[in-house]
Chains A and B, each alone.
Chain A
Amino acid sequence: MSATLTPACRPADYRSAVKPIWCPGCGDYHVLMAFTRAFAELGVRPEQVAVVSGIGCSSRIPAYMNCYGFHGVHGRSLAVAAGLKIVRPDLMVVVASGDGDGYSIGGNHFLHACRRNVDLTYVVMDNHIYGMTKGQPSPTTEPDFDTALVPGGTGMRPFHPLVIALASGANFVARAFSGNPAETAAIIAEAVRHPGFSFVEVLSPCVTYRPDQRAWKDRVHRAPVDATDDAARAARRVMTDDGFNLGVLYRGNRPPYAPPIGKAVTDLSELEREFEI
């Protein structure tokens, strides 16, 4: 980490020297830009931030950032992040995931992270496909998405992450589009400022396996109504919208889960004694 940063960090100060290997045209480049802009907007220094991820294209983000990072186990980023935030409440913890990592392999952790309401920000880059493993359908893939890998489509109803998040107790729910990095950065910054578990779904096109998603930039639009603090109302809205409403959709007021931290163990033999038979 750089030791020569100016007091007010610029977005570039949060970028590492590692060059992304995403496909040119991938929406995740924009999300990376949005992360760095949001962090600069929040005025946090790199050593005050931890970005935790699982596995997948989107989960490569920690490598491209100049802050603490943890590229963890598939679907388990929220468990790692919750533990980190509980023992290091001074850190700003942001979790990066994708629709496969977050809603399938990590689906159970998603439910309980919403319910637990630890003060985290969860950003899921949703492209409705497993891009890293070459285009298998994910939980948010449309049932009639017909490809050589899934002839005729899956026929299965897609998972609705925003409704699940609201039903499970997330304290802040928003949808953004990667092609609008300025707006996405503003939403991420607000999500971080909002106490408790904040969930931001970012529609992030996979131009390689879903070239049709290049058209998303013409389909997205601002949500026609302001955010509500009524989870049931927010859920009804997102269940009946077209999937392209952008903005903050729900701001809750549940207090975050923040258990008291016990005394830190400095002597390993203390821990060993607990396991003695």
Chain B
Amino acid sequence: MSADAPRASSLVDLYAIAYQIEADAVERYAMLADQMEMHNNPALVDVFRGLARAEGIHRDEICRMAGDFDIVAHARKVARWQLGESPESADLGAAHYLMTPHDALQMALAAEQAALEFFRELLAGTQDPEVRRFAAELVEEEAGHVALCHRLLERHLPPAGGGPAGDPDPSVSQA
């Protein structure tokens, strides 16, 4: 686990960390969906809205598990990455107006793999039985997401032409 990653010393810490990871993922996928909507790429709008919806379900499930505990306020205290973003944050800088579902799924795969690695390391580094139990659930869940991305990528192969590489309207100053 990177030195700047938050540590979970209790179950509520882990709830807060997991909540923040999912909330950040929702925010980024929603922003990407908006970007694609503004740039008239409807296929990608559906993909990113779907990803945001899926991450939102997980976020809300974690909130439900935390019960009356103010998970949002606790996340502000304990779920902080000092040097970077939370692991499941899609790379907004990699977006392109002509990106394809394949590109989007590659982006999602990278984010899911980072989240899986984070929870695996967290699981390996804790002895608390409650934290271990929930961390193991999260590892299993993220592994399922990685597998889902791989399955979807088999259905959405890279385009033979078009996509960012085939931009018919390159910027003037680069011509």
Chain B interface mostly helix, strand, loop or mixed?
A: helix
> Which residues of chain A from 12 to 71 have a CB within 8 Å of any chain B CB?
12, 19-25, 27, 29-30, 33, 40-41
- Interface: A108 (CB within 8 A): no
A20 touches B174 (CB 8 A): no
Q: Interface SS of chain A: helix, strand, loop or mixed? A: loop
Asked if A253 CB lies within 8 Å of chain B CBs, one says: no
Stretch at the interface among A88-96, A115-123, A208-216, A265-273: A208-216
Which of chain B's residues 76-112 have a Cβ closer than 8 Å to chain A?
A: 76, 80-85, 92-97, 99
Stretch at the interface among B36-44, B127-135, B138-146, B148-156: B36-44
- B38, A29: Cβ atoms under 8 Å? no
Q: When the two chains form their complex, are residues A208 and B93 in contact, meaning their CB atoms are under 8 A apart?
A: no
A residues near B72, Cβ cutoff 8 Å:
8, 10
Nearest Cβ on chain B to A153's Cβ, whole angstroms: 12
* Chain B residues, CB < 8 A from A147: 173-174
Question: In the complex, what's the smallest C-beta–C-beta distance from B29 to chain A, in angstroms?
Answer: 13
- A180 near B93 with CB under 8 A, answer no
Report the minimum CB–CB distance from A8 to chain B (whole Å).
7
How far is it, in angstroms, between the C-alpha of A24 and the C-alpha of B103 when the chains are bound?
Answer: 13
Verify A209–B84 contact, CB threshold 8 A.
no
Query: A134 at the A/B interface (Cβ < 8 Å)?
Result: yes
CB-defined contacts of B34 to chain A, threshold 8 Å = 19-20
Neighbouring B residues of A25 by C-beta, 8 Å: 92-96
A135-B171, A149-B172, A209-B173 given as contacts; is B93 within 8 A of A33 (CB)? no
* Contact among A40, A183, A208 for B83, CB-based, below 8 A: A183
**When the two chains form their complex, are residues B83 and A180 in contact, meaning their CB atoms are under 8 A apart?**
yes
- Nearest-neighbor residue (CB-CB) of B37 within chain A: A19
Query: Is the CB of A217 closer than 8 A to any CB of chain B?
Result: yes
B interface residues, how many (CB within 8 angstroms): 30
User: Nearest-CB distance from A129 to chain B (Å)?
Assistant: 8
Q: Which of A199-255 contact B (CB under 8 A)?
A: 205, 207-209, 211, 214, 217
Q: How many residues of A contact B (CB 8 A)?
A: 36
Q: Is B160 an interface residue (CB 8 A)?
A: no
Taking the nearest CB of chain A, how far is it from the CB of B31, in angstroms?
6
Q: Say whether A139 faces chain B, with CB atoms less than 8 Å apart.
A: no
**Do the beta carbons of B31 and A148 come within 8 Å of each other?**
no
User: Smallest Cβ distance from B108 to chain A, in angstroms?
Assistant: 15
Contact B84 A24 (CB under 8 A): no
- CB of B3 within 8 Å of the partner chain: no
Q: Which B residues lie within 8 Å of A258 (CB)?
A: none
Given A10-B72, A207-B93, A29 and B35 contact (CB-CB distance below 8 Å):
yes
Residues of B within 8 A of A211 (CB): 171, 174
Complex alpha-carbon distance, A135 and B173, angstroms: 6
Q: Is the CB of A209 within 8 A of B80?
A: no
Which B residues are in CB contact (< 8 Å) with A11? 27
From residue B110, how far is it (CB to closest CB) to chain A in Å?
A: 14
The answer on a CB contact under 8 Å between A20 and B38 is: yes
A179 within 8 A of B: yes
- Give 10 A-B contacts (CB < 8 Å), ordered by A residue: A12-B27, A24-B96, A24-B97, A25-B95, A27-B93, A29-B35, A30-B93, A182-B80, A205-B93, A209-B171
Beyond the given A8-B72, A11-B27, A20-B35, please list 11 additional residue pairs across the A-B interface where CB-CB is below 8 A: A19-B38, A20-B31, A23-B97, A24-B36, A33-B27, A147-B174, A148-B172, A149-B173, A182-B81, A183-B82, A207-B93
Residues of A whose CB lies within 8 Å of any CB of B are 8, 10-12, 19-25, 27, 29-30, 33, 40-41, 129, 134-135, 147-150, 179-183, 205, 207-209, 211, 214, 217
B interface residues with partner A (beta carbon < 8 Å)? 27, 31-32, 34-39, 72-73, 76, 80-85, 92-97, 99, 171-175
